[in-house]
A and B are shown apart, each in its own frame.
Chain A
């Protein structure tokens, strides 16, 4: 309130903007390398993905400027209308969208397509920030938790209905935001152990697992009984432990049941990731992408094969090389050095966002910032983790790198709303 804004570029964080531009440029170069062919060697060739990506990038830059021009109050005032509009779009695509390889999540306009699911992220981010920053919201309250989870999970459910499970999973990233704002760490840990248990249920013999759990429960119960002075309280605890055992055992069998209801390709993917034997042919097929990806990245060596010299990506050994597996091109052509640089750039961007989020005077901006950082982090982790065999194959893009307009524009909007909020941090109180 003390200072008037002279230019939209004043007060914006140049570190984040710079990192954004660098990542965009590197992404574009790698798309060029991944789909390069001699007949269309110009990087500006519109008929090729790299030429198209340049158009998307230009669009992204325009969007960034538009976002910076829009009054910051717009984002603080209308998160819920944006959220509702977004949810409606998500639902409408199920009815009016174009079906592409099994999922109904695209609006197509000629050669170009838009995926509303990508744009859901910033809407949820805004809505969550708005809700959680309101004065009467207390994270400790049960009602708060339910509403917050609803805000997050409602669009995720719609996206699952669009059969874009990967994109829906991104919404779990908001757990970091919740945690930062006071959501119980124990619940996070509980969640972690639940996931661990469910995975174990698929890996280990169920009977053995249940017996193991029972043994642990008995040991814990005895420990409580022996160490506790208050017999009555101890009894309650022990009851709780055994109740937990019953729930866990039910979960173990439930997972198995749920697993059997899954689509075959999902089952195989999960099994391959868990390292289970799915039969040679199936494994070859399902593990093929990851295996080829590992070969491409692994063959890059320390310094890589050089720009446009990657044989594995250039000659299509790696599938989806310009989209989900774009990191292969980085690994193969730029080697360990290049991969490390890219990872550090992402880490720098994310850490910078968190740093800036922490200096916000308004909780809204801070929560929004954490949302941005969490989503970016989730994408980088799952995408890169997938290419190097550390995460299951979940088809989500690498921010700013993967070919495609929707995700690029969605990330740009997501990021620049935050930059805009930050540039106004002295003007906005909440």
Chain B
């Protein structure tokens, strides 16, 4: 029978059937377990990862005044694939654009890196008022929708350099960071940059499932994979807004800076760099255009002088010299030198002093800022027999200077701090040859000239060291984050940093001298009724190499002070470029700042008027033209 004859063939059939099922299993194993591409594609197709942007933190001043907040605005988005039966003329009218613009923008939204299936920005930063009108008509325009965006707003337009600004994240940043995506905002300078992390908060993501027509179908797995947006933290800034505003007014039409610090904490009370700009210029879509305008301004308003301008400290540096000499036990309060109108160091001409001071003791030497006296101080420090070689004593001196925060980064929380310049042994060896430089070679350091360069914030910090009698806190801009003064970001500002001079009696001598400066010294004209304070004027020589020739430009007016003398509340450093004597402009400005901060009133309206109206920028330009 046939069944018997061919019954072995059942094995062939069984084998074929089983083999095919096994092949299928192998294939399934490959596509489901080995190959990941289908899982990725599935996610890309069915999921929309929607970002929830948190509100950026606000910034308040030390008295609770709001300095920075968020202003709501809307971006009009479009998903080109979903645009159907659009009345283009009506749409353009509502939006106030012409047809050509419409066509261009639609094209841009369709092309890579955008996609017809995904939302892209059609119009940026529509105001709340306009968006309300738009929102009513939006039902007619399928495929278009509004998403809220926040813009920074600076209500009092002050402290642009300190607060910094926010802008779209740069492409390099997107490549290196997994957090930022194209179009995100990020702090670019100032506090916005330094405190980007607490200010920005954390973006949230919710996964939305869409169907094959890109229609939303609700959140994936009821949102168990979603993350909530965490709002940015509010920051309490150390600034005193009214003092800051006053300082900016005083510095109008002047080039220079004011840095005021609370010595007992290192908190920056005022931080003026002049000329400044309105921080509201650098917002959202107007940023690039305004930035270029500001960048091209010949007075460089974008340049943060308080932090990045390095000036020779001039006579204010004499205080540091005094402290070093005392600490090295080569100078006492009663050390006396004779001034005959200059110091003869062996050069062709003596280093000039402003007057024939005769015999002076230390406090008087400070009070009158006698160059002769301080050249002698420098000499006794450098010629100390304790040290065998010039290099040894120089490095001792240099270490002292560095401990005051000069010639190095203070590590403040303001980005792009400048180190300033403090000469090194290799530098001198290179310029003069090894062992071929002596006290007299570098004598200009004695009066804060020569290779020295100090930024205004470093200068203010030196005042803090003197006011605190031996230590400082790193100058900083933030008091508390989210009402927490002990946020981990702020802990480093609670640490005392000691200068190498720690004996308070040495400071007392300096303070006595600084007090003399105000009482009947170089700053006698800037006394404040009822406030006993300490100060030092400075006049920084301003040489510049122009066309290969060293040209003497008008001196910078420098002034440092702290007040009151007992239990100081404010330390201040003022620099006014090309304004001449320290006593002429920097001193009165500083005294007004001190008075304003301590008493919240001004008792010398005439001084104030003169300072407010003083126009050094334009008078110098006119002066040059006359020549």
Q: A residues touching B (Cβ–Cβ < 8 Å)?
A: 139, 176, 179-182, 185, 294-302, 309, 311-312, 315-317, 331, 335-336, 339-340, 343-344, 346-347, 350-351, 354, 358, 363, 366, 370, 373, 377, 381, 384-385, 388-390
Contacts and interface: CB of A to CB of B under 8 A. Distances in A.
Nearest to A316: B212
Given A315-B46, A384-B24, A179 B12 contact: yes
Interface stretch (B28-36, B136-144, B474-482): B28-36
A162 B16 CA distance: 31
B39 A301 contact: yes
A62 B519 CA distance: 116
Interface string B573-613: 00000000000000000000000000000000000000000
B31 A298 contact: yes
Given A346-B21, A351-B18, A363-B2, 9 more contacts: A179-B9, A180-B6, A294-B38, A295-B41, A299-B38, A301-B32, A316-B211, A335-B32, A344-B21
B24 A139 contact: no
A347 B17 contact: yes
Contacts of B38: 294-299
Contacts of A311: 42, 46-47, 209, 220
B45 A331 contact: no
Contacts of B39: 298-299, 301
A380 to B, nearest CB: 8
B181 interface: no
Contact of A354 (B10, B21, B209): B10
Most buried by A among B7, B9, B16, B213: B9
A388 B46 contact: no
24 contacts: A176-B16, A181-B2, A182-B6, A295-B45, A296-B38, A298-B35, A299-B38, A299-B39, A299-B43, A301-B33, A311-B47, A311-B220, A312-B45, A316-B213, A336-B28, A339-B25, A350-B17, A351-B14, A351-B17, A366-B3, A370-B13, A388-B27, A388-B28, A390-B27
B211 A315 contact: yes
Contacts of A347: 17-18, 21
B46 A363 contact: no
A162 to B, nearest CB: 28
A351 B11 CA distance: 11
Nearest to B28: A339
Interface residues on chain B, size class: 35 or more
B45 A317 contact: yes
Nearest to A347: B21
A179 B1 CA distance: 15
Contacts of B28: 297, 331, 336, 339-340, 343, 388
B48 to A, nearest CB: 12
Contacts of B5: 182
Contacts of B3: 363, 366
B210 interface: yes
A125 to B, nearest CB: 16
B217 A315 contact: yes
A384 B28 CA distance: 10
A297 B17 contact: no
B388 interface: no
Most buried by B among A298, A312, A370, A388: A298
Contacts of B220: 311
| Interface SS majority for chain B | helix
Contacts of A366: 3
A299 B12 CA distance: 35
Contacts of A340: 25, 28
B13 A354 contact: yes
B42 A298 contact: yes
Contacts of B212: 315-317
B221 interface: yes
B211 A299 contact: no
Contacts of A317: 45-46, 211-212
A317 to B, nearest CB: 5
With most chain B CB atoms within 10 A of its CB, the pick from A299, A309, A339, A370 is A299
B209 A315 contact: yes
A419 B220 CA distance: 46
Given A180-B13, A315-B210, A317-B45, A343 B32 contact: no
A185 B213 CA distance: 51
Given A180-B10, A294-B31, A309-B221, A139 B2 contact: yes
Nearest to A376: B17
Interface string B359-382: 000000000000000000000000
B207 to A, nearest CB: 10
A414 B62 CA distance: 88
Pairs A-B, 9 closest by C-beta atoms: A298-B38, A299-B42, A315-B211, A311-B46, A298-B31, A336-B32, A316-B212, A299-B39, A347-B21
Contact of B41 (A299, A309, A381): A299
A343 B6 contact: no
Contact of A302 (B32, B42, B210, B221): B32
Given A295-B38, A298-B39, A358 B32 contact: no
A316 to B, nearest CB: 4
Nearest to B37: A298
B484 to A, nearest CB: 43
Nearest to B6: A182
Nearest to A385: B24
Contacts of A350: 17
A335 B25 CA distance: 12
A86 to B, nearest CB: 26
Contacts of B35: 298
Contacts of B16: 176
Contacts of A390: 23-24, 27
Contacts of B112: none
Interface in B179-227: 209-213, 217, 220-221
B1 to A, nearest CB: 7
Contact of A181 (B6, B33, B211): B6
A228 to B, nearest CB: 30
B20 interface: yes
Given A295-B38, A299-B39, A339 B9 contact: no
A298 B32 contact: yes
A87 B314 CA distance: 114
A351 B16 CA distance: 11
A180 B212 CA distance: 47
Nearest to B40: A299
Contacts of A370: 13
A143 to B, nearest CB: 16
Contacts of A363: 1-3
B42 A343 contact: no
A162 B10 CA distance: 34
A176 B15 CA distance: 12
Contacts of A331: 28, 32
Contacts of B47: 311
Nearest to A344: B21
Contacts of B221: 309
Contacts of A301: 32-33, 39
B7 to A, nearest CB: 7
Nearest to B18: A347
Interface string B393-415: 00000000000000000000000
